Chains A and B, each alone.
Chain A
Amino acid sequence: MQEVVVNWTGLDWLAIFMYLSIMILVGWYVSRKVKNSEDYLMAGRALSYPMVVATVAATWYGSGAVFGTAELAFNAGIAAFVVWCVPAHLGRIPLALWVAPRVRGVKENTIPALLGRLYARPVAVLGAILIVCYSSRLMDIVSVGIMGNTVTGLPNWIIGAVIVGVVICYSMFGGLWSVVMTDVLQFFLMTSLTLLLLPGVWSSVGGFEGLRAALPAGHFSPTGGLPVSQLLVFFLLGFQVYADPAAYQRFGASNSAKTAKRAYLTCLLIWMAFDTVMTMLGLGARVMYPELQGSKAFLTMAINAMPPFLTGLWICSILAVIMSTMSSFFLVGATTLTCDLIKPMFRPSMTDREQIRLTRIFMVCIGLSGCLLAFQFSAVLDAVIFLGGLYLSSAFVPVLGGLFWRWRFTVTGGFLSMLGGMGTTLVWQALGNPFSLKPILVALPVSFLLFLVGNMIGKPIDRNAEPVNEC
């Protein structure tokens, strides 16, 4: 087994220190422009097209996109792009064209608030609890710990705690405005520095000719020899963005429905190019470090290709990918707890200041609990699949059904579909995935079936009811 040898120097520490300090300074500077809770939670619903592009692109791309794609390419070849990335991105075109403008047009700021208006409080509460779990970003904290440990030799949990601390710090200052403007800088860092690694790696391995000579032929097969059930899971995982609370928050914070739609379409163009580069880097890592595990090979290759200071900067670009996602979800989770659980249930008369203060407190709680739980998982991809599957199978049908279902629908339909999706995922996982089927493949049809059955029971819902919260 090859050892990971990393020449980590004081200059690299300097790059990391500068990056983290700049993020905190930007978060603090932007917070001076925040005047009320709408600014804090929804950026005053004034995000322009380039802001939405940057923040959506940076938020959606977490550790799964970078390490997951590179690792899949390392193990299965170009199938990482052909069967994972392309169907997922093409499947999101309807989200941009129809869901984004619709979400911009509704009165609610959060998914639970929407569920609360369309169905009833129990559905909203269940949705809120799931969103808070989803927002702890365990997979991102795990990845940042692994990466930090590989590079610096410090324990995983110390690295995880420091990064989560910085993320909480800058996000707390100005809420969504701070998150968006740090996302803008992180978007540039993650795209430019991560991608500019490729030309050097490419010339080292000799382009595709060198790859073909060094790798098995299966690495150049569009499906990579993966089983059909795995291909289907990848395809369905791509759809979890249809219930992604951070994307909905950004659609709602856009300055118009057209901005939300066009910005998301632009993100699809950027993501596809980014994924292609990650696939090529994964293939390069396989040639250069075939004995290492995929993610470690990718990291080792990147670090060894750079001189001191640039190595630190490159690590900053990976931190940017992960931190931009963490900050958005910590804010989403804290907003959900404040606006969808505490305010409507215990303090309907909460003032603007109280809302902001409580959201800040919850951000700290979510970050800390995420840190405590994160190191229970060993493989990043497994964590992504489990958490993504649980949230997607629970929220996908009730959220999209609430937005687009034109026929009779009732509270029972929303509640049953949500409970059914969540229960099926958990039971299927506990049974050890019978017939080798992943939970999501069973849970989504069950959720939809229960939505249809539940919609025949009870009084039809008034679609034009007033919002259930004022956040």
Chain B
Amino acid sequence: MERSSSADIKFVAAIIVEAVFLVWGLVNGVSLLGYILPGIVAVVCLSITVFAIRDFFRQHG
């Protein structure tokens, strides 16, 4: 139970840190965001897609 709460807190902290970082980047005009952010999101989303397809075939043979 405690381990679960600690992971939840880490998730929430990551969300808040991301929000602060992105607002800071937009307000201060950090141009690098325009180049690296799409790449990072695409890699993360590709991984989630691959794992989801793997899970489907594991469940259904």
Chain A residues engaging chain B, CB cutoff 8 angstroms:
30, 33, 46, 48-51, 53-54, 78, 81-82, 86, 89-90, 93, 97, 181, 184-185, 187-188, 191-192, 195-199, 201-202, 207-209, 211-212, 220, 222, 258, 261-262, 265-266, 268-270, 272-274, 276-277, 279-280
Contacts and interface: CB of A to CB of B under 8 A. Distances in A.
Interface in B18-54: 18-19, 22-23, 25-27, 29-31, 33-35, 37-42, 44-46, 48-49, 51-53
B27 A277 contact: no
Say which size band chain B's interface belongs to. 35 or more
Nearest to A274: B41
A192 B46 contact: yes
B56 A273 contact: no
Nearest to B9: A97
B35 A202 contact: yes
Main secondary structure of the interface of B (DSSP, over half): helix
A78 B48 contact: no
B49 to A, nearest CB: 4
Contact of B12 (A81, A93, A185, A276): A93
18 contacts: A49-B51, A50-B52, A78-B26, A78-B27, A81-B26, A97-B8, A181-B53, A184-B49, A184-B52, A199-B35, A202-B31, A258-B4, A266-B48, A272-B19, A272-B22, A273-B22, A273-B41, A276-B22
Interface centre among B4, B12, B45, B59, by most chain A C-beta atoms within 10 angstroms, is: B45
Interface of B: 4, 7-8, 11-12, 14-16, 18-19, 22-23, 25-27, 29-31, 33-35, 37-42, 44-46, 48-49, 51-53, 55-56, 59-60
A199 B25 CA distance: 16
B14 to A, nearest CB: 6
A269 B48 contact: no
A201 B35 CA distance: 10
A54 B35 contact: no
A191 B26 contact: no
A191 B38 CA distance: 8
Contacts of A54: 48-49, 52
Nearest to B11: A265
A142 to B, nearest CB: 27
A320 B16 CA distance: 28
A293 B11 CA distance: 38
A26 to B, nearest CB: 10
7 closest cross-chain pairs (CB), A and B? A207-B31, A208-B29, A202-B34, A195-B38, A191-B45, A50-B51, A50-B52
B41 A277 contact: yes
